[in-house]
Amino acid sequence: MNNPCDLNMNFKEQIQKNRIPRHIAIIMDGNGRWAKRQGLARMYGHRQGVETVHTITEAAAALGVEYLTLYAFSTENWNRPKEEVDALMTLLVDTIAKETPTLMKNNVRLSTIGDLSRLPENTQRKFKDCISETSQNTGLNLVIALSYSARWEIIQATRNIASALQRGEILLEDINEEVLSSYMTTAQMPDPDLLIRTSGELRISNFLLWQLAYSELYFTDCLWPEFTEEEFYRAIVDYQHRERRFGKTSEQIH
Ligand code: FPP
């Protein structure tokens, strides 16, 4: 079988430096399948996946991407076997502790989106520490979606708008796209320009449903642990060849 990740082309050279996507979101998928193919336990795949997170974060920072949002743990992932959930939480804590110096070195600012209250206390604490340590960095914003789902986020936003309405802080007729966006967990960020999903699955899986309205979608058969810098550059080159019309005609754009 051909490996979809064996790339000979030099995509980095083809990137137009003045049209780097401001915000790239990634559904990192295929860790389990990658491990299974090697006859290993699923956690080996997740551990290898962390190496890919490291590589892609450094590549994004070097290119001048402003926001990189990674779907690390969905609301639905709580339904996985307890041993896998526990091992993933330990991996997250260890990774954050180990990677904080690399984030500092690369001027990366960490933040999270999702229902962090469901995470074990030490996991929450490690993330809070790293968020505070990197808060003054001015380069790439690395956003980790943890215990996140878009439907959860939309429900939170709706509740908060309804309660602001009840308190008389906003009027019904004031509710528009901008207001709804400001109640999302991503309020301070631009919408993703590009969404990448690895492993050949062609789904959004409850990720950033509101924010992805006009994002360009890029799917690759490559599994996350084998997703390389070159694959990342290839996705960006592909994005740069798209025509983003936002509902307008091609003639209006040119
Ligand atoms: C999807 O693969 C991957 C996950 C649910 C976890 C991803 C988490 C990491 C790579 C660690 C992230 C670490 C940081 C610090 C962001 P899967 O298990 O669904 O694979 P499968 O579909 O092949 O079973």
60: closest CA among 190, 235, 198?
Answer: 235
- Is 29 one of the annotated active-site residues of the chain? yes
* Over residues 165-193, mean pLDDT: 97
Q: Is 94 a catalytic residue?
A: no
Task: Name the superfamily (CATH) of residues 19-158+189-239.
Answer: Decaprenyl diphosphate synthase-like (3.40.1180.10)
Averaged over 59-67, what is the pLDDT?
97
Query: What CA–CA distances, in Å, run from 207 to 9, 51, 81, 130?
Result: 31, 22, 22, 24
Tell me the mean pLDDT in the region 5-15. 84
CA of 254 to the centre of ligand 1 (A): 40
- The residue that leads in pLDDT, 186 or 5, is 186
Residue 6: the pLDDT is 64
Mean pLDDT value of segment 219-228: 98
* Model confidence at 1: pLDDT above 60: no
* Per-domain residue ranges of the chain: 19-158+189-239
Does 50 contact ligand 1 (Cβ within 6 A)? Answer: yes
Residue 9's pLDDT is: 78
**Per-residue pLDDT at 11 exceeds 90:** yes
For ligand 1, say whether the CB of 198 is within 6 Å of any of its atoms: no
Gap between the terminal Cα atoms of the chain: 42
Is the pTM here over 0.75, yes or no? yes
Arithmetic mean of pLDDT, 211-219 = 97
